[in-house]
């Protein structure tokens, strides 16, 4: 498989994002607003205490800062396939001599690279200066954090793939996308750290892919997992990527047989 077309799509996606400077600036402001709102909420909940149930305010702050910043990078276009089915251009996409899923990955990675450089880094620096974020437990843990974050992005992308494939059977997937985003926000640990979840709920969450997206990388960053646990969690992330992608690809193959495009 030739990589040049996919690299071209990734480059085009990156350059397209760079053309909208005001949108880029508002994106940074949006991230910082979320960070400061969360910070004020948790400061109020902690009531001046530095620690609750063994969880320090700095740990909570690090969790939501990294999760919010990663969320900015982990942007996927949930309406790529639905929009093309709606306007009929999916027919042209299927005729192109490239893999449409590969194109989706390439464009999403182009967007992610832009977000990483021009949103993640500036927002994280401001958060470190004004809110405070823990340093990585070690250089090795930081490298493992990056690896786990990449796998977390893979989990998120495959979940988006499944959501998009439902557009072959549904007229509008907006409600499904909204429900998916709510589950991710609540069960990934980005909004409420999973340390504060009831034990029974944590047991349920372990059987879902959501905690693998943000909470696993953050725990690695803070050094809260042993090397054996890190290996186990990364294997769980890979497991979810394989399983969810296989289901999404199954829906893709079935959906193509159901697809009917009208035009003139």
Domain boundaries, the chain: 4-258
Q: What is the pLDDT of residue 261?
A: 60
Q: What is the pLDDT of residue 264?
A: 43
Q: How far is CA 200 from CA 20, 60, 127, 192, 196, in A?
A: 45, 21, 33, 16, 11
CA 113 to chain centre: 13
pTM above 0.85, yes or no: yes
**Contact criterion met (CB below 8 Å) for 255 and 169:** yes
**Contact criterion met (CB below 8 Å) for 31 and 74:** no
- Give every residue of the chain whose pLDDT is below 50, as ranges: 264
Q: At which residue do the structure tokens 């007229």 appear?
A: 171
Count CA atoms within 13 Å of residue 94 on its CB side.
Answer: 15
**Those residues with Cβ within 8 angstroms of residue 9's Cβ, 6 or more apart along the chain or in another chain:** 103, 106, 107, 110
Q: What is the pLDDT of residue 86?
A: 86
Q: How far is CA 97 from CA 6, 78, 217, 218, in A?
A: 11, 23, 36, 39
* pLDDT tens digits along 198-220: 888 888 888 899 999 999 999 99
In angstroms, the CA 165 to CA 162 distance is: 5
Q: What is the pLDDT of residue 21?
A: 76
């Amino acid at each position: 498989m030739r990589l040049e077309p996919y690299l071209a799509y990734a480059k085009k996606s990156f350059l397209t994002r760079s053309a909208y400077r005001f949108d880029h600036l508002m994106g940074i402001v949006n991230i910082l607003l979320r960070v400061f709102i969360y910070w004020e909420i948790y400061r109020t909940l902690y009531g001046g205490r530095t620690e609750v149930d063994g969880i320090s305010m700095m740990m909570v702050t690090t969790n939501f800062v990294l999760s919010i910043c990663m969320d900015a990078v982990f942007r996927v276009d949930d309406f790529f396939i639905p929009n093309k089915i709606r306007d009929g251009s999916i027919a042209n996409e299927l005729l192109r001599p490239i893999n449409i899923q590969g194109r989706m990955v390439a464009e999403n990675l182009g967007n992610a690279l832009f977000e990483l450089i021009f949103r993640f880094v500036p927002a994280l620096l401001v958060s470190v200066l004004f809110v405070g974020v823990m340093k990585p437990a070690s250089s090795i843990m930081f490298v493992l954090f990056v690896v786990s974050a990449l796998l977390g992005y893979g989990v998120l992308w495959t979940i988006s793939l499944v959501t998009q494939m439902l557009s072959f059977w549904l007229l509008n997937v907006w409600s499904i996308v909204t429900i998916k985003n709510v589950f991710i926000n609540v069960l990934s640990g980005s909004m409420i750290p999973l340390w504060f979840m009831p034990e029974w709920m944590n047991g349920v969450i372990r059987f879902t892919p959501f905690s693998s997206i943000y909470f696993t990388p953050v725990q690695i960053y803070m050094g809260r997992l042993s090397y054996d646990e890190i290996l186990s969690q990364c294997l769980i992330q890979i497991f979810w990527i394989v399983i969810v992608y296989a289901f999404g690809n199954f829906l893709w193959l079935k959906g193509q047989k159901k697809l009917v495009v009208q035009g003139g």
